[in-house]
Every structure is written in C-alpha cells, then in structure tokens.
C-alpha cells in the first residue's frame, strides 16, 4: 500500500515538473514572438511622384510639365531627356512675342546653317487635344510641312506671346507647358540674332528629369497637376 502511494506521489511530482517546464517554454516562446513583432519595421505608404522637366540655360532655369493627354509626345520627350539627348543643343530660333525653338542635335556642331534640319530620325503622330492650346508658356512640337501634321522627333518650341499664338492650334501638337521660369524664355526671345532668327551667341540647354510630389509641385512651383 505504501509503495503504491509513493509511486503515485512520484508520478504526480514528475507530471508537476513537466507541467512547469512546458509552461516555462510556452512563456519564453510568447516573449520571443512579442519581441519579433515589436522589432518588425513600421511600413509607411509610398508617396507617389510626378515627372517634370528642368531646362537649364545661362539665363536661368525653366520647368516644364508634360501633358498626359499626349502620351506619345510625353513618353518620347522623357525618353530623350533620360539619355541626355538634349544636352548642349541650343535654342536656335528665337522670335520675340512669338516662340523660342530648340532641341535640334544639329545645333551642337559648328555649322549654324543646318540648325533646324536635324532630329532623331523619326516623326511622332499628331496628338491634337481640344483643351490644349497655344497659350503663353505652352510647349509645342515643331514639324515640317507634312500632310499628317506629324511632329519632329525632338525639336520643340515655347510660346512667348502673352496673348498666345492660337493660329497654331490643331496644326502643331501642344504637349506641355512651362510651370516656372517663363521670365527665362522671355529673356532668350530678346537676344540679338541674325536674319535666320538664330542668336549670335549659342544658348545651350541642359535638360533633366525631376521627380516631385504633388505637395512639392504646389509649394515650389504653385502648380497642381
């Protein structure tokens, strides 16, 4: 009888010890899980940005918004800018109260007579949008006299007439606008030039793509997409 009681007491003691061990490891596991959760990084929502174009010149900088309503022209301009295509090209045609024009790779060489004839070797289909007009500061695509009114692959112009140049509407694609720095465009338009409207002194550009949040566009440029 004593032996049975002793055996039961011993078994009970073993079970109690095992229970304590199990409880100990359960607590340790819970603490580890809690620590891992606490150590996990806090995920913050990604802030979206918009692409704008910076055009640096010796007269100052201009900042251009590219319209999403003209996706072919927008993608083309961003693609060329991303490969530094426009860097060291010049504003080879300047007409006060009309436009300043640039983006021709021929303007990089010493032959000034071929400026306005160059490009990347392709055209862009016209993208006429009723709401996009040739207002002051609008950016349009230059072109030759082709029936489809397709745009040159790289040459562009900026409207410097305060009243706009609306006789160009639906004849040349408007694909952007200057959101800051039109005083620079106005200064360029006033520069001394020859009879072909080419400035005597090269006005080179350095074109870059900037990523800005909507808040930055608002605070830095007073512009809302």
Q: What is the mean pLDDT of each run of 10 residues along the chain (225 residues)?
A: 44 49 50 50 76 98 98 98 98 98 97 96 98 98 98 98 98 98 98 97 98 97 95
> What's the CA gap between 158 and 161, in Å, rounded?
9
Can you give the pLDDT at residue 183?
A: 98
Where is 33: in which H helix or E strand? helix 2-39
Can you give the pLDDT at residue 46?
A: 74
Can you give the pLDDT at residue 94?
A: 98
Where is 17: in which H helix or E strand? helix 2-39
CA 208 from chain center: how many Å?
9
> What's the CA gap between 190 and 192, in Å, rounded?
7
The tokens describing 198, both together, are 């080419």
Can you give the pLDDT at residue 4?
A: 45
Where is 160: in which H helix or E strand? none
Where is 76: in which H helix or E strand? helix 71-82
Where is 174: in which H helix or E strand? strand 174-180
Can you give the pLDDT at residue 138?
A: 98
Q: Is the dihedral of CA 162, 165, 166, 172 positive or negative?
A: negative
Distances (CA, A) of 14 to 6, 9, 21, 101: 12, 9, 11, 93
Where is 217: in which H helix or E strand? helix 214-221
> What's the CA gap between 53 and 76, in Å, rounded?
13
> What's the CA gap between 179 and 191, in Å, rounded?
22
pTM here is 0.81
Nearest alpha-carbon partner for 161 in 189, 180, 131, 140: 189
The tokens describing 112, both together, are 């000034």
> What's the CA gap between 91 and 82, in Å, rounded?
19
Can you give the pLDDT at residue 1?
A: 44
């Amino acid at each position: 009888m004593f032996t049975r009681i002793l055996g039961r007491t011993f078994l009970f003691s073993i079970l109690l010890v095992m229970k304590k061990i199990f409880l100990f490891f359960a607590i340790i596991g819970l603490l580890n899980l809690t620590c891992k959760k606490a150590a996990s990084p806090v995920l913050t929502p990604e802030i979206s940005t918009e692409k704008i174009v910076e055009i640096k010149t010796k007269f100052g900088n201009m900042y251009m918004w590219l319209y999403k309503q003209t996706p072919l022209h927008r993608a083309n301009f961003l693609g060329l800018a991303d490969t530094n295509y426009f860097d060291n090209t010049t504003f080879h045609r300047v007409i006060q109260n009309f436009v300043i024009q640039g983006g021709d790779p021929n303007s990089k060489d010493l032959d000034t007579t071929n400026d306005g004839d160059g490009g990347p070797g392709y055209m862009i289909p016209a993208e006429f949008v009723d709401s996009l007009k040739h207002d002051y500061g609008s950016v349009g695509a230059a072109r030759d006299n082709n029936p489809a009114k397709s745009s040159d692959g790289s040459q562009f112009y900026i409207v410097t007439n305060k009243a706009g140049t609306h006789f160009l509407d639906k004849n040349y694609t408007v694909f952007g606008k200057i959101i800051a720095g039109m005083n620079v465009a106005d200064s360029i338009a006033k520069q001394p030039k020859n009879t072909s409207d080419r400035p005597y002194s090269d006005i080179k550009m350095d074109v870059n793509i900037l990523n800005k949040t909507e808040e930055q566009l608002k605070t830095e440029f007073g512009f809302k997409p």
